[in-house]
Amino acid sequence: MSVASAVPVPVSHLDAARDAEPATRAANGAMAARLPFHDTRAFDDAARGLIAPVPEGVVRAANGTVVWNLGEYGFIDGDVAPPTVNPSLWRMARLNMANGLFKVTERCYQLRGFDIANMTVLEGASGVILVDPLTTAEVARAALELYFQHRPRKPVVAVIYTHSHIDHYGGVRGVVDEADVKSGRVQVIAPTGFMEAIAGENVLAGLPMMRRAQFQFGSLLPRGARGQVDAGLGKGVARGTAGLIAPTLSITAPIEEHTIDGLRIVFQLAPETEAPAEMHMHYPELGVLNMAENACPLLHNFIPLRGALARDPRVWSRYIDDAIELYGPGTEVLIGQHHWPVWGRAAVVDYLEAQRDLYKHLHDQTLRLMNRGWRPAEIAETIDLPPGLAERWSVRGYYGTVSHNVKAVYQRYLSWYDANPASLQPLPPVPAARKTLDYMGGAAAVIARARADFARGEFRWVAQVMKEVVYAEPANSEARALMADALEQLGYQAESATWRNAYLYGAQELRHGMFKFPARPAMGGDTLAGLSTDAFFDMMAIRIDPAKAAGHEFRINWRFQDRGETLEQTLKNCTLTHRMGGWAAAAPVSISTDRSVLDKIVLRRLTAPEAVEQGLIRIDGDPSKLALLFSLLDPPGDLMFDIVTPGEDREPPRA
């Protein structure tokens, strides 16, 4: 049970969002005065080539459920931001309202505003090639139908995934039939390492990423000037049915050219940039360069708020520079899988050079200060965009931020540890909060001082100290309300959509508790089926409970008939390990089944005893070992775990 749900919050504190405080109005006013709002070229580019908008701004599932609704953003009107929204973010929120079918150039079209990402349509000799079929089948199907309403209805001959994030592949079943892929009528193309990257980012740590993504995208916030206004890369992530069809062709060479349905495509691999597996594309006959998600008109994340491995901005910058050198002379239009294009060869090169320098500058300046012994928070407070970049709209921090990215660079090179031994083993949050409050004279004294600081506009500090009160005394409704108020003002000031969403969603949970959802698997069947057996057994190993496994040892042989694979699994020292291709003659039990049967067990569509009873699992040897294995596994985690409150199940015993 969560503290946020277990601790009743008095009705007097369940008030609506507050208005902007004077300090917030002043901060947003200063931002409006500092940036070149007279430059409106991006609005022309975002509207250029529009053929038809998203019909009624709405996409519905087959049962009528609304999975996408731009009408929720009808309040985004006019170029003057309300005081509760950073004016720079308001500008991006307006730009991201551009939606529908757009003509980029002959044979190249984009469907924007159906989801957080774009779907690009390339017209081949006999059919169409789709690049990145959005997040869910429903929006991908609706987007393709809008294209066919205005262009010849031809078969889909290929789908290209530019990288391994779900908003760029999850809607594939809405635009192609898997039978056509298996028959060879449709190719599915992706960068090398695509399936492994999905396993690494979405499976082993998938559940906590999903929970943290609620804060990043603000999906559970109300839409409005005091709520979610944007997600930086687009309005938000579409709801619906996500799936996956595995690639039939992997791009493996650094530069690799293919002719697909008569269209030449030059692929440039860019691994370990915005995604572990990512690639750019040049369409020489069209004069179009597609930079996937590596050159959006904003500062991207080196680590997203949802969590991921720290990305390498040095390599990211280098791949952008390589693209300039390789494709700049032959490019008239730059497109990406988010936002709008850039037209004109000189403008494209200038735009890419700014993106290249943006990522390299943050990397290099962080390293410079690291080498002078500076700590992460000190570096983050000092570095900002330099002249030449700071005044460019296309590098503003609508998604990532300078502060967050600097800390990601530090983490990549030196880890979380700041080298001060006092940081090696600090007290956990709850006992540390209690001791802090004792030293500061108790909760009442802290709250009184924080109220004075709030009145002075010191919202960062108020949020920081109120977190200590909330962790020490979760039932302290006054502290929760004041922390929520401080987070809210920070959200109103944030230029980054993701920071705004995180601040405002934190405030919402403090006031109202967490939403409760029915238990469901953390991943879909397509993702699970797409995992290698090696990755599947890694996923199983992270669920071993050492307290239950203590005193047990075993070895199990596995044979997966549908994949022609064998595997030797060992439990020893409370740890599960496995060897692909192994088969131990001395193992007390050997199990033959299909991998798809294990998938159904993980998805809770079948239990292990039911599978044995139905003959789907054949056991040779001691059947108790299989029962023992499943008894040692933790149940699947609950998506809605505590973040802004301490969490009863994680509270250490009092000393």
> Residue 62 pLDDT > 50, yes or no?
yes
Does residue 469 sit within a domain? yes
Answer yes or no: is pLDDT of 226 > 70. yes
Judge if 512 and 554 occupy the same domain: no
**Whole-number Å distance between alpha carbons of 310 and 363:** 12
Same structural domain, 454 and 370:
no
In-domain check, residue 333: yes
Lowest mean pLDDT among 274-283, 494-503, 510-519: 510-519
- What is the distance between the alpha carbons of residues 305 and 313, in angstroms, rounded to a whole number? 17
Q: Residue 331 belongs to what domain range?
A: 48-395
pLDDT given at position 381? 97
Residue 276 lies in a domain: yes
CA dist., res. 628 & res. 643, Å (int): 33
Q: Quick one: pLDDT at residue 12? A: 38
How far, rounded to the nearest angstrom, does the alpha carbon of residue 310 sit from its chain's CA centroid? 13
Residue 3 lies in a domain: no
Mean of pLDDT values over 590-595: 96
- Asked if residue 3 has pLDDT above 50, the reply is no
Parallel, antiparallel, or unpaired for β 187-191 and 156-160? parallel
Spatial distance between the Cα atoms of 395 and 389, rounded to a whole number of angstroms:
7
**Which pair of tokens denotes residue 163?**
């990288």
Chosen domain end from 377, 395, 413: 395
Q: What is the pLDDT of residue 1?
A: 23
| Predicted local confidence at residue 650, as pLDDT | 58
137 lies in a domain?
Answer: yes
- Report yes or no on 648 lying in a domain: no
Average pLDDT, the chain: 93
What CATH number is given to the structural domain containing 315? 3.60.15.30
What pLDDT sits at residue 489? 98
- Per-residue pLDDT tens for 471-496? 999 999 999 999 999 999 999 999 99
Dihedral angle computed from the Cα positions of residues 18, 20, 21 and 25, in that order, rounded to the nearest 10 degrees: 180
Tens of pLDDT, residues 439-473: 999 999 999 999 999 999 999 999 999 999 999 99
pLDDT, position 528: 86
Domain of 598, CATH number, reads: 3.30.1050.10
Q: What are phi and psi for residue 68, nearest 5 degrees? A: -155, 130
How far is 452 from 383, CA to CA, in rounded Å?
A: 29
Same domain, 305 and 450: no
Residue type for position 206: G
Shared domain check, 545 and 472: no
d(CA 513, CA 262): 56
Q: Are strands 58-60 and 66-69 parallel, antiparallel or unpaired?
A: antiparallel
Domain CATH code at residue 455: 1.25.40.880
Mark whether 455 and 391 lie in a shared domain.
no
Query: What's the rounded Cα separation, in Å, for the pair 454 and 486?
Result: 7
Query: What mean pLDDT is predicted for residues 402-429?
Result: 95
Q: How many CB atoms lie within 10 A of CB 280?
A: 28
Q: What is the mean pLDDT of residues 93-112?
A: 98
Tell me how many domains the chain contains: 3
- The answer on 381 and 250 residing in a single domain is yes
Same domain, yes or no: 473 and 508: yes
Whether residues 174 and 192 share a domain: the answer is yes
Q: For residue 8, what pLDDT band results from cuts at 50, 70 and 90?
A: very low
Look at residue 26 and tell me if it is in a domain: no
> What's the pLDDT at 522?
65
Report the candidate in 423, 488, 520 with the shortest Cα–Cα distance to residue 644. Answer: 488
pLDDT for 294 equals: 98
- 587 & 454 share domain: no
Distant-in-sequence, close-in-space partners of 120: CB < 8 Å, separation ≥ 6? 104, 108, 109, 110, 111, 130, 131, 132, 290, 335, 337
Q: 633-652, pLDDT tens digit by residue? A: 988 777 888 889 998 655 55
For 66-94, write each residue's pLDDT tens digit.
999 999 999 999 999 999 999 999 999 99
Of the residues 455, 483, 517, which one is the last residue of a structural domain?
Answer: 517
Backbone angles phi, psi at 143, to 5 degrees: -65, -45
pLDDT at 655 over 60: no
Q: How many CA atoms lie within 13 A of 170 on its CB side?
A: 23
Share of the chain above pLDDT 90, in %: 87
The answer on 543 and 509 residing in a single domain is: no
Residue 318 token pair = 């280098």
Radius of gyration over every alpha carbon of the chain, rounded to an integer in angstroms: 26
Tell me the residue length of the chain. Answer: 655
Q: Of 501, 517, 533, which marks where a domain is finished?
A: 517
Q: Longest Cα pair distance anywhere in the chain, in angstroms?
A: 77
Q: Which pTM was predicted?
A: 0.93
Q: Would residue 412 count as lying in a domain?
A: no
Are 565 and 456 within one domain?
A: no
CB 281 within 8 A of CB 290: yes
551 and 625, same structural domain? Answer: yes
